[in-house]
Structure 1
Amino acid sequence: MDFDFRLWENDLKLDFTVVKDCRSKEEIGSKKANYRGLNFIIEPLGKVKIKGSIHKYYNEGYNNATRFTYDDFQEAVNQLAEFGVKPETAILRGFELGLNLDTTACKIDNKTFLDSILYCRGAERSDMEINGKMGLGYTYKTTNTKYKFYDKSAQAKIQTSELLRIETSFNRMRAVENYGITSLADLLDKEKLSKLILDKYLKPIDETIFFEWEQIKTPRRLPAKYRSKFKDLRNPDWWIKDDRCRKERKRNKLLLEKLINQYAKRNIQNILKDLISLELSAFSRTKKGDDYTEFESLNKWNKPNHAAKKGTNTQGIVRCDSHDHREGKEKKKHCLICGKEITGQKTDSKYCNNQRKCRDKAYNLKVSETRKKKKSDKEKEILKLIKDIGDKLSLTRTTNPNRKKTKGVKARKTSIIVTVNGKRKYYHGSQARFFLNEFEKKTEYHETNPIPVL
């Protein structure tokens, strides 16, 4: 770019600093000045660069956590003219597209949104450090692009609202070369910008896989044919490690979304898309009126839009409650065991009326869980007994736990009586066998010391 760097050096608003050699006082490296969130850089050979957030620059350097519309972007570029910046000759080396989404209205905290991301563009997730804390954001880095999801309110230290930032960062310009974007003027072109946002920002959101764990904690409610598959679908590592073609991955994604829509109280991806649509409407709205024709493709991205009322700044209710989003439809209910729809049954019904099979199965599962807990408690008691006073234990009598069963001969139940401090404790069946096995480990019995058979 043909630019006279002395224009910046003579500008009183730019206070440049440079590293100098201690002895020769010779300048080393580039001159740098920070002004309203932008870094103005003059390299030794006279080449100039500007780095930073133009959104922050528009906000007088305060932060970039506010709403930033297309009109605001135009105004910020016009303000750069005082530093000799011409959009046609300002060559881009990288830039970011991002929206700040106010999640306060939907009553879902940012952590829930962040933790629901299972898969994004085939990239492994990396934690972002925000104000010295981890877990407030994640990045997914591909060859030329980086996708960021993070808590903007935490980064900007805003306590009045919850802001979620979704950002696409182009680290290399070859990621957008097919869109004819090379200069700052190209980003001001509404047609080019619309296509770029659709393909490089909104399409990745559509392809990202979201699953809110709390909505379907167990596959018990799902049909039996999906339960095993569902355990894989909700696992982030499963999507990354297994090599699949695009067609197969899409088929699995559609299956997971189908299960979410049928058995979860809410679909967090749809809520997120509604929030994005709401913010896009605000981005494309001009100060001259509500003319969306130049950004029509953006406003058609997520129709029907439940989160925005066209033509006003009024924010509608973001659908995040438990009722069905479709008007006039009764909330669907499904049997907790077989997954069969039971919408027409009583309001407090949990199981289908299939000859009480599902109800009895649920009862048996409950009894089984109770027995397992009781067995576990008893085994803990035995282990503690052997550990604490194992050397003082006296084995009174027992059957042989290794005795093979003979067909036609009734097997005898294993029973033992253990004398502890003059008191007798009785163990039978599986408890006795468990006791004997652990007792052998403790006393290191071998074949030379067989257990007496009674």
Structure 2
Amino acid sequence: MIDYLKSWNVKTNQANNVHNLNGLRFVRNTYNGHTLNGSIHKFANKGLHNADDYFLSDFKSTLNNLYLSIGLNPDITMLNGFEFGVNIKLPFDPNIVLESLILHKSCSGLTDKTGRRFEYQNYTIKIYNKSYQCKIEPYKFENILRIEIKVIRMEYLKKHVHCKVLSDLLNVFVWEQFQILLEETIKDCLIINLSKAEQDMLSDKEQNSYLQYINPLFWTKLYNGTRENRSRYGRERAKCNAFVKNHSKSTIQTEILNLLVAKCCELRDASKADCIIKTWNKLTVFPNDYKDSTCDRLTVLRETSLNDECDELPIKMNEYFVAVEDSGMVEVKRCKVCGEIIHHPTNGQLFCSAKVVGYKRTHKCRDKASNAKKSIRRILSTPSLFELSEFIAEDKRKYLDNM
């Protein structure tokens, strides 16, 4: 059921910048993690193929293997995209289905060597001949049709299931919802399959209608027109369904649906999956590469020196905030009291920074500039019979002019 995975930031114990592991590719990113892309189904088969059935129990065993081998924790690995689908064995050539597949909803899709692809903004539907794609026996002889949905943006699943991290895909309910989405995919397809004998029995008018209905361009042009044309599209689609029902005995669509439902139920082996004990915990502890080291790696960050006021400051800070000579070319901001240059001042900063010159020195500057004014203001605001300004000390009289 689950195949391709995509995660932008995976935590593993891999030291390599690029690491390929049996179909999974890990590339180092800027967040000290790895970007993950690849087929987890193929990884379970040692990188050989993904043409067999991939059960829920197999998926859980694979997650255990990933955790034990590279430390990938499914509980903390965010999902940024993935694929889910089924491989069903048909009693006839899968190419018959691909040739009869005209539309998915109103999308004519794209065709390649293996099958059809219908691309939308948040997801892509792929229906193709898996036996043709896989060159490994016995799968290349088994008429395998692959039906899958590739989730490009996780927004596609918001209305259906809760999938945030990799371990959410172990939920049986999630797999049941995936089955519903796959069923709806087949039901939304326009499949027209008339045998040669059935075509010969059509009248000239019916023959013209048949040629229109099997032409994807007819539907595309009809749907991409005006709103009136879209109304006509709905009517023509209803006529087409009635036409196929009246003139074709083909049961391809019904057979595919029945096989799909049976396969999805088979893959959900919940009882077997419950017997498998997961090996990961919510919190992952990676091996300590420095357990044999005797040096203190943070020593340099704790080195300090004393400034003129006997304040302890980090050496790195002292090195960074070295005073520079005022060249006169650039306006230099200085402390209002002591005249010290203020490096990288904030808006409205008037005094020295405690981070640079220390708390004591900064506090002295602030006291000299502000506390004297407050003291004088408090004295003068006290009700009295005499003029109190005459009793202000000589060294503080200069503040009277600014009040």
For normalisation by structure 1, the TM-score amounts to: 0.51
Match of 2:55 among 49, 52, 69: 69
- For the pair 1:142 / 2:120, whether they are aligned, the reply is yes
- For the pair 1:238 / 2:222, whether they are aligned, the reply is no
| Residue pair 2:74, 2:165 contacting (<8 A) in 1 also | yes
Summarize deviations over 1:338-382 as a string: whole Å, max 9, x none: xxxxxxxxxxxxxxxxxxxxxxxxxxxxxxxxxxxxxxxxxxxxx
Judging changes above 3 Å, is the alpha-carbon distance between structure 1 residues 247 and 287 closer, same or farther for their aligned structure 2 residues? farther
User: Residue type matched to 1:111 in 2?
Assistant: N
For residues 44 and 124 of structure 2, the distance between their equivalents in structure 1, rounded to whole angstroms, comes to: 24
Match of 2:142 in 1: 161
Match of 1:41 among 16, 19, 27: 27
Higher RCO, 1 or 2 (CA under 8 Å, sep at least 6)? 2
How far the C-alpha of 1:84 sits from its partner, in A, is 2.0
Match of 1:53 in 2: 39
Match of 2:72 among 76, 82, 85: 85
| Residue pair 1:119, 1:240 contacting (<8 A) in 2 also | no
User: Residue type matched to 1:234 in 2?
Assistant: I
For residues 11 and 269 of structure 2, the distance between their equivalents in structure 1, rounded to whole angstroms, comes to: 37
| Residue pair 1:260, 1:267 contacting (<8 A) in 2 also | no
| Residue pair 1:215, 1:264 contacting (<8 A) in 2 also | no
Secondary structure of 1:101 counterpart: strand
For residues 164 and 39 of structure 1, the distance between their equivalents in structure 2, rounded to whole angstroms, comes to: 26
User: Residue type matched to 1:210 in 2?
Assistant: I
For residues 51 and 124 of structure 2, the distance between their equivalents in structure 1, rounded to whole angstroms, comes to: 20
Summarize deviations over 1:20-52 as a string: whole Å, max 9, x none: xxxxxxxxxxx2111121112222441222211
| Residue pair 1:139, 1:147 contacting (<8 A) in 2 also | yes
How far the C-alpha of 1:188 sits from its partner, in A, is 1.7
Summarize deviations over 1:376-406 as a string: whole Å, max 9, x none: xxxxxxxxxxxxxxxxxxxxxxxxxxxxxxx
| Residue pair 1:67, 1:100 contacting (<8 A) in 2 also | yes
Summarize deviations over 1:139-167 as a string: whole Å, max 9, x none: 11111111111111121114332211111
How far the C-alpha of 1:56 sits from its partner, in A, is 0.9
- For the pair 1:190 / 2:172, whether they are aligned, the reply is yes
Match of 2:280 in 1: none
Q: For residues 289-308 of structure 1, what are the structure 2 equivalents within 5 Å?
A: none
Secondary structure of 1:212 counterpart: coil
Judging changes above 3 Å, is the alpha-carbon distance between structure 1 residues 4 and 272 closer, same or farther for their aligned structure 2 residues? closer
How far the C-alpha of 1:185 sits from its partner, in A, is 2.2
| Residue pair 2:194, 2:250 contacting (<8 A) in 1 also | no
For residues 214 and 95 of structure 1, the distance between their equivalents in structure 2, rounded to whole angstroms, comes to: 38
Summarize deviations over 1:266-320 as a string: whole Å, max 9, x none: 222112212212312321244649xxxxxxxxxxxxxxxxxxxxxxxxxxxxxxx
For residues 63 and 210 of structure 2, the distance between their equivalents in structure 1, rounded to whole angstroms, comes to: 49
Secondary structure of 2:14 counterpart: helix
Q: For residues 280-359 of structure 1, what are the structure 2 equivalents within 5 Å?
A: 280-286=264-270, 288=272
Secondary structure of 2:121 counterpart: coil
How far the C-alpha of 1:231 sits from its partner, in A, is 4.0
Match of 2:97 in 1: 113
| Residue pair 1:216, 1:263 contacting (<8 A) in 2 also | no
For residues 268 and 77 of structure 2, the distance between their equivalents in structure 1, rounded to whole angstroms, comes to: 24
For residues 42 and 10 of structure 2, the distance between their equivalents in structure 1, rounded to whole angstroms, comes to: 24
RMSD over aligned CA atoms reads 2.9
How far the C-alpha of 1:91 sits from its partner, in A, is 0.5
Judging changes above 3 Å, is the alpha-carbon distance between structure 1 residues 124 and 266 closer, same or farther for their aligned structure 2 residues? closer
Judging changes above 3 Å, is the alpha-carbon distance between structure 1 residues 87 and 252 closer, same or farther for their aligned structure 2 residues? farther
For residues 4 and 228 of structure 1, the distance between their equivalents in structure 2, rounded to whole angstroms, comes to: 60
Greater Cα radius of gyration, structure 1 or 2:
2
Gaps of 5+ in 2: 1-7, 274-403
**More deviation in 270-279 or 113-122?**
270-279
For residues 151 and 206 of structure 2, the distance between their equivalents in structure 1, rounded to whole angstroms, comes to: 39
How far the C-alpha of 1:54 sits from its partner, in A, is 0.9
Secondary structure of 1:242 counterpart: helix
Match of 1:212 among 193, 196, 215: 193
For residues 10 and 251 of structure 2, the distance between their equivalents in structure 1, rounded to whole angstroms, comes to: 52
How far the C-alpha of 1:109 sits from its partner, in A, is 0.9
User: Residue type matched to 1:75 in 2?
Assistant: S
Judging changes above 3 Å, is the alpha-carbon distance between structure 1 residues 4 and 254 closer, same or farther for their aligned structure 2 residues? closer
Summarize deviations over 1:166-204 as a string: whole Å, max 9, x none: 1111111221233332211222222233224313x2212
For residues 246 and 74 of structure 1, the distance between their equivalents in structure 2, rounded to whole angstroms, comes to: 46
For residues 127 and 22 of structure 2, the distance between their equivalents in structure 1, rounded to whole angstroms, comes to: 25
Judging changes above 3 Å, is the alpha-carbon distance between structure 1 residues 50 and 35 closer, same or farther for their aligned structure 2 residues? same
Identity of aligned residues (%): 24
